[in-house]
Structure 1
Amino acid sequence: MIKVIIVNGIKIVCLQCFGFIKKSFKLSVTENANKKGDAMGVKALMEKVLPTRLMVGIKNFRQTIHLYKDSFLQACRFNRNYSHIDPKEQVQVETRVMFLTHQIEKGLSHGDFRYGFGKKIFNELPFMLNRMEQIDINFINNTVYRESMAALHEYMARHMDAGQDVSWQKSLFTGEQWEHIINADLQDGGSLIIRQKDKLHNSELSFMMLNEHRHSVREFSDEPVSLNDLEQAIQMSMRTPSVCNRQPTRIHVIRNKQLIKQALNIQGGVNGYPLPPVLILITSDLRAFMTSYERNEGFTDGGLFGMTLLLALESMGLGSCPLNTMFNRKAEKSTRKLLNLPDYEMLVMYIEVGHFKEQVKTCKSTRFNGKTITTVHE
């Protein structure tokens, strides 16, 4: 059945009929080429004979088809490769070990430390470690494995030093794994201490040193963050590159405590932590893009801006923590309603901002060596 849609106020035929029109023009072009030796393409011929408004409508409709098709293919690729429950491939297993280890590190860095936390983590992590040992013959030198052992070491040591029973947790690991946990190098993972006095001269540091010493913190002092400081950090970030200098990034500064609480309850990644003095939401204005192929560009440009802003805040002696906004439909709808976000802005990330406490713990979050993620094409 032939369908009809309205584009730019003009009715045009959809799918089957659109293909018929294109095929008809192609036949016409072939006939013209045979008769006149003129190799005019289908597109050129259509632009020559069709009204401009109709041609614009057809082009926009074609972009819409590409958008849905390419988004579907992208979703298929993601679905084939992301780390599903019960993964078998090494990187997918490492992904889940890293995620679970990070949960332990967050618990270890919590100012209001809760003994016995992480039962759900311990119900999954030993299984993933077993699988990692089966897949990677050199697991003992694997950065992910070593970080997990170090985080587990700190967890067990802190409990045992306080006289807490860890027999259940110990029973979940093999004897060899327990030896690795007990003898783990704490430089490989766990928590570390961030001191306010060490941030006093951040503005004088080289980029390498500033970047090396920046860590995300989730607890801040009670000192208010001035709007002037935030505006300065945002202005410092305006040199961030963007596609064709279209600058799609938009910034929402949230200072209302009730709004911050509601927004973070929806986000769900920092439950149990005190509210930050300021919450920044980075979005990307979809009106700054021109074709369906740029559907993901907002994440790229917004992410670049986010990293620049994190370093700008650090250089000013302000603590920060980026939080993802990769929401399901319900969470995104709730966030949009809460913050009254326009339809044309896509969520990129949150950033918590505040002054450093005199001393605070945070996740060590061990990084890979750059050489291990680099492929050289010559």
Structure 2
Amino acid sequence: MSFIKKIVPKKVKIIAKLSKLYAYDFNRFIKNSNVYQTFDTENKLKGKLTIYYHVLEKGLTMPDTRLGFGEPVVLELIDMMNMYLDKKYNLSSLEFVHSMNVLEEYVEFHDKKSFALKQAITDQVAKLRLRITAYETPKQFEFDRDVYFAHRESSFDKFCLSRYSSRNYSDVLIPEEVLMKCVRLALKSPTSCNRQVNRIYMVRSAEMKQEVLKLQYGNRGFGHLADTLFVITADISVFQGPNDRNESFVNSGMFAMSLLYALHRYDIGACPLNWSVEVHRDLKLRQLLGIPNNERVGLVVSCGYLPEKIKIASSPRLDAEEVVKIL
């Protein structure tokens, strides 16, 4: 065995180990995620409910909500809710209750605008009301700008709880020096072995922003209003072995959260935008921004000063008791 170790090149050993680790990641993901859309567990179905209701609550908070928006999503959400009911899953779960809440708010919003939704939607919502009793019709949040930033200098718990993702931006330009202050604060984020892997592409020109937004999913209706886009990457050249394969995402996530808090501290609204894209989109972004091959794109953050009145998606959170396991 020691003889084999001597004659096998080091690079081959590394590739073998990395292949085993990626196979481990792949198998866990393919077996336990919902990529096959089987909905054979409650969590898989709740995940889909959340995606659909969040599309609708975001739409309700757009700067200029289009009447009749998201009708195909509404019908998909109703189908998922009926499936959930048929499987007799927990009707008091946050995901299910909020799905009904958002549906009701969606219908109410259009009723107030005297806009006739498709008959299929109104009929299906009426049938759901007969099957569900435990829900209410909350409102997405609406703030005055001063109220939204009221706790930017408060204790951390108040500060933290006061930050929401904002998709309403004004046309007031943010001084570059203020954005750089936010980046400097974010650079204090924990980083693997202090390797300080994150790199930031601050996109401010209108043409460049438009091209970046074309490549990212999930910014329709508000992305074009952003003053600045931060494209956050991580330099993978500093990672030393196969076990570091996911460190770039961990570091980028911590950096992004610090950046969001820093922007909030300086009266700037912001919204993180995922970079869950196909290969060709990643390649186009790299070419557009000149991102080298040794950097992995983590996510995009849109930001801007806020108008006097802003709408915020309520996006309720689970209770701590639901996510903590004490051993």
TM-score (norm 1): 0.81
Equivalent residue for 2:177, pick from 228, 234, 237: 228
The alignment status of 1:142 with 2:93, answered yes or no, reads yes
The alignment status of 1:161 with 2:139, answered yes or no, reads no
1:373 deviates by: 1.0
Equivalent residue for 2:198, pick from 239, 244, 249: 249
Whether the aligned pair in 2 keeps the contact of 1:237 and 1:308 (CA below 8 Å) is yes
1:126-157 Cα shifts (integer Å, max 9, x gaps): 12111222334431x11011111111111111
Unpaired runs of at least 5, structure 1: 1-22, 27-42
Partner of 2:287: 337
SS at 1:172 equivalent:
helix
The alignment status of 1:347 with 2:325, answered yes or no, reads no
CA distance in 2, matches of 1:60, 1:195: 59
The alignment status of 1:217 with 2:166, answered yes or no, reads yes
Equivalent residue for 2:211, pick from 250, 258, 262: 262
Whether the aligned pair in 2 keeps the contact of 1:247 and 1:288 (CA below 8 Å) is no
Equivalent residue for 2:18, pick from 67, 77, 98: 67
The farther-off stretch of 343-352 and 165-174 is: 165-174
**Match of 1:74, as an amino acid?**
D
Count of matched residue pairs? 324
The alignment status of 1:87 with 2:39, answered yes or no, reads yes
Partner of 1:284: 234
CA distance in 2, matches of 1:326, 1:113: 25
Equivalent residue for 1:100, pick from 34, 49, 52: 52
1:200 deviates by: 4.8
Whether the aligned pair in 2 keeps the contact of 1:279 and 1:351 (CA below 8 Å) is yes
1:279 deviates by: 0.2
1:185 deviates by: 2.1
Unpaired runs of at least 5, structure 2: none
**Match of 1:278, as an amino acid?**
T
1:201 deviates by: 4.4
1:113–1:288 distance in 2 versus 1, CA, 3 Å: same
Partner of 1:363: 313
1:85–1:236 distance in 2 versus 1, CA, 3 Å: same
1:72-94 Cα shifts (integer Å, max 9, x gaps): 23112111111232412100000
Whether the aligned pair in 1 keeps the contact of 2:63 and 2:221 (CA below 8 Å) is no
CA distance in 2, matches of 1:247, 1:136: 48
1:228–1:173 distance in 2 versus 1, CA, 3 Å: same
CA distance in 1, matches of 2:82, 2:115: 26
SS at 1:123 equivalent:
helix
1:204-239 Cα shifts (integer Å, max 9, x gaps): 211111111111111201110111111111111222
CA distance in 2, matches of 1:235, 1:203: 18
SS at 2:298 equivalent:
strand
Whether the aligned pair in 1 keeps the contact of 2:217 and 2:274 (CA below 8 Å) is no
Whether the aligned pair in 1 keeps the contact of 2:149 and 2:264 (CA below 8 Å) is no
1:255–1:178 distance in 2 versus 1, CA, 3 Å: farther
Whether the aligned pair in 2 keeps the contact of 1:284 and 1:346 (CA below 8 Å) is yes
The farther-off stretch of 335-344 and 237-246 is: 237-246
Whether the aligned pair in 2 keeps the contact of 1:302 and 1:348 (CA below 8 Å) is yes
Partner of 2:261: 311
The alignment status of 1:170 with 2:99, answered yes or no, reads no
Structure of greater Rg: 1
SS at 2:187 equivalent:
helix
RMSD after superposition: 2.0
Whether the aligned pair in 2 keeps the contact of 1:236 and 1:309 (CA below 8 Å) is yes
Whether the aligned pair in 1 keeps the contact of 2:165 and 2:272 (CA below 8 Å) is yes
SS at 2:225 equivalent:
coil
Partner of 1:204: 153
Percent identity between the two aligned chains:
26
Whether the aligned pair in 1 keeps the contact of 2:235 and 2:248 (CA below 8 Å) is yes
1:260-312 Cα shifts (integer Å, max 9, x gaps): 11101110311232330100011000012100111110000110111111011
Whether the aligned pair in 2 keeps the contact of 1:261 and 1:275 (CA below 8 Å) is no
1:100-150 Cα shifts (integer Å, max 9, x gaps): 0001101111121111111221231112111222334431x1101111111
CA distance in 1, matches of 2:208, 2:199: 18
CA distance in 2, matches of 1:220, 1:333: 29
1:178 deviates by: 5.4
The alignment status of 1:25 with 2:3, answered yes or no, reads yes
CA distance in 2, matches of 1:124, 1:186: 20
1:195 deviates by: 2.1
SS at 2:215 equivalent:
helix
Whether the aligned pair in 1 keeps the contact of 2:273 and 2:300 (CA below 8 Å) is yes
1:282–1:257 distance in 2 versus 1, CA, 3 Å: same
